[in-house]
Structure 1
Amino acid sequence: MAISYAYIEWDRPDREYLPARETAVNFDFSEDQDMLRNEARKFLEGRCPIDKPRAVMDDAKRGYDAGLWQELVEQGWTALTIPEEHGGLGMTRTDLCVLAEELGRVLAPVPFASTIYLLAEALMIAGNDAQMAKLAAIATGECIGCLAVWEGPGEPAFDQVETQVSAGLLSGTKQPVVDGIAATDALVWAKDESGTARLFLVPLDHQSITRESVETLDSSREAAIITFNGTPAEPIGEPDLLERLLDGAAVLLAFEQVGGADRALEQALDFAKERHAFGRAIGSYQAIKHKLADAYVNNQIARSNAYYGIWALDADSTELPQAAAAARVGACAAFWYAAKESIQTHGGIGFTWEADQHLFYRRALFLDMAIGSPRLWRDRLFRSVELHSAEAG
């Protein structure tokens, strides 16, 4: 399957448009990956009905579904991309994106993204021998990760961080930290003794650490305030590791968002076919079918950008920053719109607590902010496009 992407580029400050640059990417899932998708969907439909995230949401103390997490471990999902020498299956990130999409469809209340897309990726990309030993614990589900970058409301200024490491000890506060209560290990963005911001690997079982739950819109995915007061911390990778991790997470989260968007649209479409008003199915009215058509188009655009992103990620392409930002922006917009219109299509029923539609809307907004808002990623996309324009002369 050949997918073509056309980018319109411009130069500032006059904003003159340059000719569109078109990139052809050959991408298709293999038979094995299609089989993996089918088996994953059957498994999750049986093991993670919609009452799973609802139950976690109703019980603020749970944070995540530990039973479902253990079942994913037993299925080998946490070991999928981990190298065989560290107890994993050694499969590709493209294989992982298949699972990500299915997890997104069922709103799985598990710390999969924080652990696999971020912590495991950081260890595989930049970990030393001692740090990579944690990969075996990730594969068996004993190690759960989180990324601690933000230090309060608003977009992060990555070069203006207050958290510091001195003599190997970390001090400062991070909030909100997604999956920060469940996590056993954290990747913490902090300044070293030279004043350079970089990532540190921090075990979270030290007595100097305090953790407090933070209420989020989607409480089926918990978050925390984590305070470090002289906590042992070990640097991991170079200062640019965070950018690479965010790009990879953006691509894989895009597949989760596309999965959620597709399921929200399916719910709206099914209801529009069944619900009758004035003697006709409501889906026959333009006010409904045009909105659902718009949601379908958004979802397909988001999926195409996600395909481009996973190609760039698996190929280790220099186009990854631009592809990741495009995937992130498109997926955020698609999931939000599909979830919103699913509520609207269901009418008064859709606004009730008992209906499932608000669960998708909550997850859409939660994932919007999980690794930085769509505005932050639009800015990253614009900068990447401008950089390509400059390089093209």
Structure 2
Amino acid sequence: MTLAARSAAADTGLAPIPPASSDATARARICLPFSGDVIGGSHLSVLDLLRRIDRARFDPLVVVQHPGGKLARLFGDHGIPVVCPFDWPELPYNRRVGANAIRAALAQLGPQIRFLRENRIDIVHVNDGRTQVAWALAAKLAGTRLLWHHRGDPGSRGLRYAAPFLADAVLAVSQFSLPRPGLISAAGKAEVVHSPFDTGISVDRAAARARLIAELDVPDDTLLLGYFGAFVARKRPLLFLDTIDHMRRMRADRPIVGLLFGAAEEPAMDAAIRAHIASRGLADHVRIMGWRSPGTAWIAACDRLLVPAVGEPFGRTLIEAMLVGTPIVATRSGGNVEALKDGALGRLVTPEDPVALAMGALDMAAGEAAALAARAEADARVRFGFDRHCEQVSAVYERLLGTGAGAAV
């Protein structure tokens, strides 16, 4: 039984893999595998891409590890083919991948190569570090083209040591994320393609804020500070808590509440956040809100978005805040500088400094906040649309296939 047939026969609720066409004009088959079952910005960006890609030219196939998991539902609910043809080791989330994990991934090369060949995959598009470790070498050995979509730090080992040899092209979500030039580097085959966003979104901020005030049962003049995203070390949720602690001491005359929208993917971080709140006496000044959808409605309800992250490649919530008109105070680090155009569209402050974040939020007068938010919204609607992203990625697909502008002759 072929892997495609095995996928169809398995009682997983997933779509079977349609047979590859032998027609010379058949659509290019794009395989987009994902490791684990945590939904993040990369998955949402891929979903936005696949909902708009030209199906007359491209035939996308999403491969997941958990047939009944969140990722399978995310794509399947939008009519995008999702399969789980075989098991492969789940690499650690949000941690450096060690030698043992790499060896375990290499042990699955045979099934992966057979899957790619049997299903006539033309391009493997890998979108996160764990998936790059698990699938990049298999794509190379199977003879498919490999598109390495980098959404992380430019110092990552995969980008520095694997992408130069395995990737046929590299996409980075920001200038910050581009590979650095060097003797061994993927810089010569890399370009920036910003993640896609719904630039037509419109939220009534006053109404959203009123609903949040009512839910929290706090006075109307409460300053609402939002943190949005997974509770992971790089995003600095503990620094956000320290910032709220400083703000409530600096402005004892005004009620202040910090809102943590998101969740910890690891019990240790959840425990650390709750211990931090207790040790600093922040129970009346911080609320853990959990994941909420649509996120933009809750971002719009906040008076400020605080982005304490360090080395953030190009945060989705920061762009979403720009689109709904919520003023931003972010660390001068990573892709924040590029997104906010060096402070022209939001406040940029010293990284790892809760006092700087606190003062940046408190010192932003109403007039300045409104002006920054208006400029940010107008800019984001031009820079980050779905269509532009889809056109750029599609052009890269065509170059890899030898059918687009700039393709090798």
Higher relative helix content: 1
Q: Which fold has the larger relative contact order, with Cα–Cα distance below 8 Å and residues 6 or more apart in sequence?
A: 1
Tell me if both proteins adopt one fold, taking TM over 0.5 as the criterion: no
- What TM-score results when the alignment is normalised by the length of structure 1? 0.26
